C-alpha cells in the first residue's frame, strides 16, 4: 500500500494527490477496501474525509485531522467557500458563448441520478438539482480535434463535470461512463484532474492555495 506524500500538513488538515484509478473512500466489498482514505488514515490515524473525487479522477484531496476541522472544512465546501479548479481534455472544441471578461462560460443544467443505470447521472429538467459548471478554453489540441479546458464547478453534484461536458457535446476523453467509444479510446484514462484548491485554514482563518501539476 503506497501512502502518498502530503503536499501540505498541519495540525488541522492535510492535502494529498489522489492518483487516477484509486477509490477516494471504500466501496462495497473487500475488493474495494483499498482507497485513498484508508491509506491516509494508516499514516495519519484519525484523519477524516472532507470531500471526494471520482475513482477515475486524479488530483487534490483535503482531509481533516480532527472533528472540528472536518465540520468547518465540510461547511466551506458546502457553502461554496472553496475555489476548486480542474483541467480536462474534451472531444472537439466547445464554442465559448456567452463569455465574461475573464473568458469564462457556464453550463447550467440540473442533474439527477439515472436510477435504472446507477451509478450514472443525467440531466433532468424536472427532478434534477441545480448544477453549474464554469469553463474556459486553455488550448486546442490534437489539431483542433480536442480542447484543454479549465473547469470551475460552482456546485458539487456527482459526476457533474463529466455529465455537463457530455451534455454539451464535448465528453471528456477516456470517460468510460459518459463518452462514446471513439472518445473513450483516445485516452488511456479519464483526462480530468483536480488541479487547484483555494480555501481558508479552518482553525486559524489564513488563506491557503494548493496546486497540482496536470499529469496529462
User: Within 10 A of 169 (CB to CB), how many other CB atoms are there?
Assistant: 11
Find where cell 484508508 sits.
Answer: 38
> CA-CA distance, 161 to 164, in Å (whole number)?
5
Task: Give yes or no: 54 in active site.
Answer: yes
- Give yes or no for a contact between 130 and 155, defined as CB atoms under 8 angstroms apart: yes
Nearest to 40 by CA among 68, 71, 69, 18: 18
Selected catalytic residue, list 11, 54, 108, 114: 54
> CA-CA distance, 169 to 171, in Å (whole number)?
6
- Give yes or no for a contact between 171 and 164, defined as CB atoms under 8 angstroms apart: no
Residues with Cβ within 8 Å of residue 86, at least 6 apart in sequence: 57, 59, 150, 151, 152, 153, 161, 192, 193, 194, 195
Catalytic residues: 54
Amino acid at each position: 500500500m503506497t501512502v502518498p506524500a502530503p503536499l501540505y500538513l498541519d495540525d488541522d488538515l492535510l492535502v494529498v494527490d489522489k492518483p487516477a484509478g484509486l477509490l477516494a473512500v471504500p466501496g462495497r466489498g473487500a475488493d474495494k477496501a483499498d482507497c485513498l482514505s484508508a491509506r491516509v488514515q494508516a499514516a495519519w490515524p484519525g484523519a477524516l474525509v472532507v470531500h471526494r473525487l471520482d475513482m477515475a479522477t486524479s488530483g487534490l484531496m483535503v482531509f481533516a485531522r480532527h472533528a472540528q476541522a472536518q465540520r468547518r472544512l465540510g461547511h466551506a465546501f458546502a457553502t461554496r467557500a472553496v475555489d476548486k479548479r480542474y483541467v480536462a481534455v474534451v472531444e472537439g472544441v466547445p464554442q465559448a458563448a456567452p463569455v465574461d471578461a475573464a473568458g469564462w462560460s457556464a453550463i447550467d443544467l440540473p442533474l439527477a441520478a439515472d436510477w435504472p443505470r446507477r451509478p450514472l447521472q443525467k440531466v433532468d429538467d424536472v427532478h434534477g438539482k441545480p448544477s453549474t459548471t464554469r469553463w474556459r478554453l486553455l488550448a486546442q489540441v490534437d489539431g483542433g480535434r480536442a480542447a484543454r479546458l479549465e473547469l470551475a464547478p460552482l456546485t458539487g453534484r456527482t459526476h457533474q463535470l463529466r455529465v455537463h461536458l457530455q451534455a454539451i457535446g464535448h465528453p471528456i476523453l477516456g470517460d468510460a461512463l459518459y463518452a462514446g467509444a471513439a472518445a473513450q479510446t483516445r485516452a488511456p484514462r479519464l483526462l480530468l484532474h483536480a488541479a487547484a484548491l483555494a480555501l481558508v485554514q479552518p482553525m486559524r482563518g489564513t488563506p491557503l492555495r494548493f496546486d497540482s501539476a496536470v499529469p496529462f
